[in-house]
Structure formats: structure tokens, C-alpha cells
Amino acid sequence: LGLGIISLPILFLAIILLIYNINAKTGKYKLILLLIISTFFCTLSYILPWKEPKSTLCSIQGNLMLMFETSQYLLSMLVGYHTRFVILFNKGSDTRINKVHLFTYIFVGYGIPLILVIIANLTKMIGYCSPWCWILDRNNELSHAYRVIVYLIMIGSQVLNIFFSISIFRNLNHDP
């Protein structure tokens, strides 16, 4: 079990490197693949068997949940952004994502959540939070501020998706 868990970040990085180098026909395939990877690791975090609240598995579960739940929200926002861009500016013709845009998408989708995970670990905010391990429910300003940041990212990405959807539907309804 220990070797399997240690290999998860290596597997994750290998998959990301493969996606970065894939010459997919359209950008949406790469973005959707990134989203699928986040969903896989997020789901994995919910089924990790841990027994002790201060165990290594509890810490791994909390880190995976924080990283990939936040990642799913940001990546779904990027899919919405990319779809809006394709429909509004490319008139429905999806183009390849160049490496700079893909790097930006990967940074937003995985870099921002990774920064949150690093901050959470440096401030010792990951731990048992019933019924699983996540951000500790400490009653202090730092814990509240951290949760607000995480929730703002999650809610903000969904608000942007609503904006993207409205913009897309308006554009599609005005086309001859």
C-alpha cells in the first residue's frame, strides 16, 4: 500500500507530461482529459482506507481531496472558457492549443490547487475533519481565511461558468 501511494504523484506527473506532449486535434480533448484525471484522483481520495486521524493515509487523503476537488472546479471553468472562446472568436472551429496556452491551463488547473496544498501543509491545516480528512476545522482566523479562499475559488469558477454559458447561448441564438 505504501509503495502504491508513493507512486500516485509520479503517475500523475507522468500523465500530465504525456498530455502536454500529445498532439491532439483539438484543445477541448486535452482539457477534458485533464478534467478526467482530476476526477479520477479526487474519487480515489474518497476511497482511501485510513484508520487513524493522524495517520499518513489521512494526510494523503486530505491533500488529494484539496488538490483535486479544487482542480476539478478550475478545470471545468477552463473548459467553459475555452468553449466560449472557440464559439465566439473562432466561429465554432476548435483549434489546437499551443504549448503556452496548455501550460497556462495546466498551471491554473493544477498549479493553483498545488499552491493551496503547500500552504495547507506549511500551516498544518490538513487532518481529520469527520467523516474524512481535509482542512481542519480550527476556530481561528487563519483556518477561516483559508476556507474562504478555497470556497471563493470553487464558487467563483462556477459563477464564471454560468457567465460563459450565458455568453455562449446568447451568441448561438443570434447567429443566422
- The pLDDT > 70 percentage for the chain reads 74
Which residues, in sequence order, are CB contacts of 31 under 8 Å at separation 6+? 75, 78, 79, 82, 97, 105
Alpha-carbon span 131 to 38, nearest angstrom: 21
- The pLDDT > 90 percentage for the chain reads 20
pLDDT value at position 126? 81
- Is a pLDDT exceeding 90 seen at residue 146? no
pLDDT per residue as tens digits for the range 52-74: 777 788 888 888 888 999 999 99
Reduced to 3 states (helix: H, G, I; strand: E, B; else coil), residue 128 is strand
pLDDT value at position 102? 80
Query: Which letter does DSSP use for residue 130 in this model?
Result: S
Side-chain-facing half-sphere of 122: CA atoms under 13 Å: 8
pLDDT value at position 32? 77
- Is a pLDDT exceeding 50 seen at residue 2? no
- State the pTM of this model: 0.78
Which residues, in sequence order, are CB contacts of 12 under 8 Å at separation 6+? 37, 41
- What is the C-alpha end-to-end distance of the chain, expressed in Å? 58
pLDDT value at position 1? 40
Alpha-carbon span 76 to 143, nearest angstrom: 26
- Is a pLDDT exceeding 60 seen at residue 99? yes
Alpha-carbon span 68 to 63, nearest angstrom: 8
Scanning the chain, the segments in alpha helix (DSSP H) are: 2-21, 27-47, 56-89, 99-106, 112-122, 141-174
Residue 87 vs residue 26, higher pLDDT: 87
pLDDT value at position 154? 92
Burial 105-135 (b: 16+ CB within 10 A, else e): bbebbbeebbebbeebeeeebbbbbeeebbb
Reduced to 3 states (helix: H, G, I; strand: E, B; else coil), residue 92 is coil
pLDDT value at position 96? 62
The residue type of 67 is: M
pLDDT value at position 10? 55
pLDDT value at position 71? 93
